[in-house]
Amino acid sequence: MLPMFLYPLALIGLLGVPALVAIYLFRNRFRRQVVSSLMLWIDPRESREGGRRLRQLQTPLLFLLELLVLLLLVFAAADPYLHWQTSSRPLIVVLDDSYSMLAGDPNSPRRLAEQALADELRRVAPHSVRFLLAGDRPQVLGEPARTPSEAMAQLAGWHCRSSTARLDETLALAAELGGDLSLLLVLTDQSPPSEESLGKGRVQWWAFGKSRGNLAIVNAARSEREGLDRCLLEIQNLSDAARSCTLVVQSAGRELRKSVLNLASEEKQRLILQLPAETGEIRARIDEDELPLDNQAVLLPTRLPTIRVAVRLSDRRLGESLEKALQATRLAQLQTERPQLLFTDHVEEVGRSASAPWMVQFVSEKEATAYSGPFIFDRSHALLEGIGLQGVIWGAGKSERFDGTPLLMAGNIPLITESEQGSSETAARRIVRVRLRPDLSTLLGSPDWPILIWNLLTWRAAALPGLNRVNVRLGDTVTLQLAEPRDSLRLIAPDGPPRDLAVRGRQVVFRADSVGRHDVQAGSAQYAFAVNALNSDESDLRKAGEGRWGDWLDQTTLRLEYQPISWILLLLLLVLVLLHLLVMVRGRSDRASSSATGG
């Protein structure tokens, strides 16, 4: 293994080698002459070994010794270190789990990165290897592996099915998990933000991407409104040159649309299709290219459930405004028997749990005032999504005490609260209390009023048995509300065998980590949702790059993995100097003996 020099500038001393050679090239040489006496040869001038004529280089033993001494002296001054074959530091590998890593298969960045990692582990085996997946969220992949074979076996869980790669967050997590002793390696298809961002001596960044053009389905949606089933598709040319493709839309093996699209560079074409009645699952696809994952889309019918709503309000003005807002949502079915959501302003209705599992109680207090703000929102709650109350005056009571958990407040006065009766394992009953004096408020005439009613209905619909969404993007989550508690259910994904998942209570959350149709079996109930790779930034392969940045050379690495060898060179230097002295002394003795014999 080649040594590593801490002070490579000391190698400038190698310029002394040609100087040494020059000395021996211009050195005077004398032939030995045997004479009877030296009395007539006496000359006060001493002969000089140096000369002016360039002669053929002779390599006596002294020259070789002096050359070796010079080389050892220069290399020792450069402070060389040798790296051992095994490492005593753990290695944490950050894996780019975005689907752009699959481009160009079989020579995809993922496969090239896997081969490079295998070569590195064979070259220098670390103390341990741990993998982190950089996808839509950082994720640990298995336990630390102690051998290279164990580490490579864990890469079977590296599927590259995320819609984005949060490399910075995952790298920060890797540094926190590994501590100061670990080495960090990033395997991706893109260049680092900057080489300075990697720090010095701890992080290496390996990119295996290749800039390519790509055509992709970047948006796909389906909705049913007013009895019409519509589908929206967007296809974009993520290339530097114009390209064309064929779009095919099918349902149950029947072709619904076939179009040839000609797209300029960066151009995006939008198509809106009105589907025939009772159309089931549809599949859209374009021609195959470098990245197959974004060339297809699966869309299932989206039918929002209708909520059975009962309105029992004594305030006529409030009742009329509420009924208009309910009709505008097209999600409510007004009926008095077995309602799923009850709007009331009667206190006695709150105690009747059998008539309405969910209830919205309007409270109109005599002692009230008008509030213009500031309003404090619980923005994490679905009930207040999209509500701003700009310019709205809200009339309500003055007391700071009100039943339930505050969701909306005017200063320290609760305006909307929520409470829950029952448990998550049963059909929990929600009670929303709204403090409102319509005669002191402008809320009923503002855009926030129908938004509030829409949020109430969609929030109630999300608690009904079924999926909250049936068409989702890769990396999103899907929530399934079960009709009754279960211990397990079966998930059938498009890219693997069926899996039995444990269930706690009546709600299950799935992460959409594979593209295609997913089926869920919960006893006799059947559910389905579709996942599509719809991210133009991830499908744009032109930003991909290749190269290696960073190093693993710091004080900790030097202390644990490198061994200095300067002392060995100095010992050899000392031996050569002693040998040089012995050769010189012996040479003088031989010349003295020859002179005495000649005399």
Q: What is the pLDDT of residues 334-372, one digit of tens each?
A: 887 888 899 998 876 665 545 567 899 999 988 899 999
Query: How many residues does this entry show for the chain?
Result: 599
Indicate if the pLDDT at residue 53 is higher than 70. Answer: no
State the Cα–Cα distance between residues 419 and 405, nearest whole angstrom. 6
Domains of the chain: 4-81+565-598 (no CATH), 91-210+544-562 (3.40.50.410), 214-296+535-539 (2.60.40.10), 307-462 (3.40.50), 466-532 (2.60.40.1930)
- How many whole angstroms from its chain centre is CA 334? 47
Output DSSP code: residue 162.
Answer: B
Indicate if the pLDDT at residue 588 is higher than 70. Answer: no
**pTM of the entire predicted model:** 0.70
Q: Which amino acid belongs to residue 316?
A: R
Burial 453-463 (b: 16+ CB within 10 A, else e): bbbbbbbbbbb
pLDDT-derived band of residue 57, with 50, 70 and 90 as boundaries? very low
User: For residue 110, which phi and psi values (nearest 5 degrees)?
Assistant: -65, -45
Instruction: Please say whether the beta carbons of 118 and 156 come within 8 A.
Output: no
Nearest Cα to Cα of residue 402 among 392, 393, 410: 410
Cis amide bond preceding 465, omega within 30: no
Helical H runs in 124-166? 148-154
Instruction: Please say whether the beta carbons of 85 and 93 come within 8 A.
Output: no
Nearest Cα to Cα of residue 202 among 566, 563, 561: 561
User: For residue 459, which phi and psi values (nearest 5 degrees)?
Assistant: -65, -40
pLDDT digits (tens, 9 = 90+) for 282-340: 999 999 998 999 999 999 998 778 889 999 999 999 999 999 999 988 888 888 788 88
**What is the model's pLDDT at position 3?**
62
- What are 501's two structure tokens? 């998942």
User: For residue 450, which phi and psi values (nearest 5 degrees)?
Assistant: -65, -30
More confident residue, 107 or 25: 107
